[in-house]
Copies of this chain bind each other. A is one copy, B any other.
C-alpha cells in the first residue's frame, strides 16, 4: 500500500501525496516532469494544486522515494526509485529514455573521484543519441 511507503518515509499520509505516488507507480512512462504529473492528475478529474505537486516531489526526493534528473532538453524529470541504480540514454529526436547500468563505469567513477581527492557522493551520467526506433523515424522522417 502507498500509505505504508509514505509512513515509512516519515511523511504524513495525505490525499495529494497518495495521488502523486499512485500515479508514479501506475504510469507506463517512468520519467515525468512536475507539469506532466499535474496535468495527468487534473485531466483525470483530480483536484490538486501545482505547488503541491512540486512540494510533494521535493519531499519524496528528500525521502529517497524518487530521483530527479536534469536532462539537457529542458525541465527536471522525476522517476520513482525502484530497483538498483542506473543511468540514462535519451533519444535526441523522439525523447525516448532508456536505462542502463554499467559496473565498469561505476567503478571507474569512484576511482577517478578518489584520485582527485574527492569523496564521491553522487553522479549524473546521461548519454544522448538517436534511437531510430520505428516511432522515432516516423516522427521526423
Contacts and interface: CB of A to CB of B under 8 A. Distances in A.
A139 interface: no
Contact of A126 (B89, B98, B123, B133): B123
Nearest to A103: B108
A116 B116 CA distance: 32
Contact of A122 (B121, B129, B132): B129
Interface residues of A, number: 32
A13 interface: no
A119 interface: yes
Interface in A97-141: 98, 100, 102, 104-105, 108-109, 112-113, 116-133
B108 A129 contact: no
B113 A89 contact: yes
A48 interface: no
Contacts of A125: 123-126
